[in-house]
Amino acid sequence: MKYESLFARVENGEVTQFPIYGYHHGASDENVYPVKVEKARPEDSRDIGYKLNLKVDGKEIVGAWEAYEKTESQKAMWDSTQEYELNTKKDMLITMLNDARESLSATGVVFDGMRFQTKEGDRQKIHLAAQSALVSKVTNQPFSKEWIAEDNSVVSLDADKMIALSELVTKREEELVFRAKAVKDKVRSAKTESELPDVMAEMRDSE
């Protein structure tokens, strides 16, 4: 692989300047040659880095990647960078989990053969109506509530059904909260990026 943008200056058979920024083909300096790099730079590890070793071969400069052991300060910088990047990804995944939990909470529930909407405002209305239904039972007062199902049909709910619908919605919310918590625990305990879970797959409802 040859990178035409890499140039070096050669004097008396030795590389004296590399890289030369801003140099381009067609320039008149006869002591400046393009650098030929045979392969892409290997990825660093915590302990090993790579530097480009240049060798003058006639009017061509050949570059080869040479491994070296990093200093303790370089290793510490590596650790710090890796920790920062991992924590940044963890924060992003936690945000995704919170969004997924709320999104799933709003997908509706099936009750008594009908699907009911459960967006945040819907859930609040269901719980408030259930409180009124509970009061009516305690005071032996009649209760009936007409509710619009997701298919836009009108359903009449007595006190028991209104309370049962609220309990179902609460159960769904709690299920999602604990599911998200379990995935968050996996995210927070991950020591490396490869240990991070697929949060969207783990939050998805089972078929």
Instruction: List the pLDDT tens digit at each of the 207 positions of the chain.
Output: 344 467 778 888 777 877 776 665 555 677 787 788 877 888 999 999 998 888 887 777 888 889 999 999 999 999 999 999 999 999 999 999 999 999 999 999 999 999 999 999 999 999 999 999 999 999 999 999 999 999 999 999 999 999 999 999 999 999 999 999 999 999 999 999 999 999 999 998 865
Closest of 41, 168, 156 to residue 111, by C-alpha:
168
132 and 92 in one domain?
Answer: yes
Domain residues for 162? 73-199
Residue 104 CA from chain centroid, whole number: 18
Contacts of 167 (CB under 8 A, 6+ apart): 130
118 and 25 in a common domain: no
Among the candidates 70, 97, 112, a domain finishes at: 70
45 and 144 both lie in a single domain: no
Shared domain check, 126 and 60: no
Residue 193 contacts by C-beta under 8 Å, 6 or more apart in sequence? 85, 86, 89
Residue 31 and residue 53 in one domain: yes
